[in-house]
Copies of this chain bind each other. A is one copy, B any other.
Amino acid sequence: VLGGRVAERNAAFLARALGRRGVRVERTLVVGDDPDEVREAVAALLARGPDLLCTTGGLGPTDDDLTMRAVAEAVGRPMRLDESALAMVVERSRAVVRRRRVDPLVLERIRRKQATLPDGATVLPPEGTAPGAALTHDGTVIVVLPGPPWELQSMWAAAVEADPLRGLFARGGAPPSRTLRLWSVVEAELVEVLDRLSAPDRASLGTYTKGGELEVVVPEHLAPHVTELIAGAFGDALFATDERTVDTIVAARLAGGGETLAVGESCTGGGLGARLTEMAGASTWFVGGVIAYADRVKERLLGVDPAIIAQHGAVSEQCARAMAAGARAATGADWGVAITGIAGPGGGTAEKPVGLVWIAIAGPGGGLAVEHRFWRGDRAGVRARSETAALHHLREALARDARTVTDP
């Protein structure tokens, strides 16, 4: 996998997409938009003899978009105008032409450039205006993908169904690993438990900290044993042993129970709502809420008593509880989740330092509030951890009978 400047997000997407199909990404290489570097990088990766080589980026209309030519040179093939690709490009660029005045000669040049592929390549239909390509060279399937993440992702979804890739994945077989997800466990505790495994087994695990969660990636053949070991040691802290995340667990539980959720967000500024609505179909259970960044908005829209803020401050148990109850009451949702904290870098005091975050849940059966002190993390880290923690408290509250929600 290699590409240009936005390559990181694409690399992450491809690693996930391939991992799900049992294909391991052995190497990711990011190089500059220089024709020699790209050609050299493709050649070097091909020399390792991979089953699959993906390139991303460099398919646009400008002169620094040179990936097709670099790939052709690396595999020693001429470039050739592909008439079917040209037809696709003309079709896709029509919407732009309708809206803009572009010199027809320039447009013709751009279209021909984007439709010129390495000889013998299969064209992958464009999602934006640039077609991709797939070709086979010395047993390696080469897939040339566009740089804009959504174009790449749409094309990938289509390309996976294409013949060369289908053959590849048929060989791949079952997923080679399983991801165990833990909440409220620190890595040192995990080390102690994993000591019970043999050294080679231990070395085959991957452990990752991720916004307050721990992920343990376990080879499939060890999964039953390691899952049992971790479940025995940490109980409910092991919250998922499959593709589920805390986001999808909460969504499924709310949708399944026909219940709705509203948020009241201060320091996260809308981030929890944005994260929840990344999931398509969230409208069946998420109604919205209030971004209560200023104290005035906490009072006006969430009905927080000004006396609470005057007496306890906006970052307090009392305010968090009032915000969660207010989110519920103001929107008519079944559940309210509130986050109020000090994300930093400024605003901290000795008594209320940066990283202090109160999270509250209000539900049909009552409410709860939990204090967090995220001493690890900058502003973005504190905000992301707050969102994740809020979802876990909600998950736990939803897992209990809603009538009996009380403080932990």
Residues of A within 8 A of B (CB): 4-9, 11-12, 15, 24-33, 37, 60-64, 93, 95-96, 100, 102-103, 106-107, 110, 127-128, 147-151, 153-154, 186-192, 194-195, 199, 202-203, 205-210, 260, 262-263, 265-274, 276-278, 280-283, 286-294, 296-297, 300-301, 330-332, 344-346, 375-381, 383
Q: Which residues of B contact A283 (CB under 8 A)?
A: 293-294
Contact B291 A273 (CB under 8 A): yes
Q: Which residues of B contact A147 (CB under 8 A)?
A: 208
Contact B288 A288 (CB under 8 A): no
Contact A330 B346 (CB under 8 A): no
What's the number of copies of this chain in the assembled complex?
2
Instruction: Give chain B nearest CB distance to A116 CB in angstroms.
Output: 15
Bound-complex Cα distance A344 to B283 (A): 11
What would 13 more interface pairs be, CB under 8 Å, given A4-B206, A24-B32, A62-B190?
Answer: A61-B188, A63-B194, A95-B375, A96-B186, A102-B188, A148-B209, A149-B380, A262-B297, A263-B270, A270-B289, A273-B293, A274-B274, A281-B346
Contact B110 A188 (CB under 8 A): yes
Bound-complex Cα distance A375 to B154 (A): 13
A270-B270, A287-B297 as given contacts; A100 in contact with B377, CB under 8 Å: no
Q: Which residues of B contact A205 (CB under 8 A)?
A: 62-64
The residue among A27, A32, A191 with the most chain B CB atoms within 10 A of its own CB is A191
Instruction: Give chain B nearest CB distance to A45 CB in angstroms.
Output: 11
Bound-complex Cα distance A89 to B378 (A): 19
When C-beta atoms are compared, the residue in chain B nearest to A35 turns out to be B203
Q: Which residues of B contact A33 (CB under 8 A)?
A: 206
Bound-complex Cα distance A188 to B272 (A): 37
Q: Which residues of B contact A128 (CB under 8 A)?
A: 376
Q: Which residues of B contact A381 (CB under 8 A)?
A: 149-150
Instruction: Give chain B nearest CB distance to A117 CB in angstroms.
Output: 19
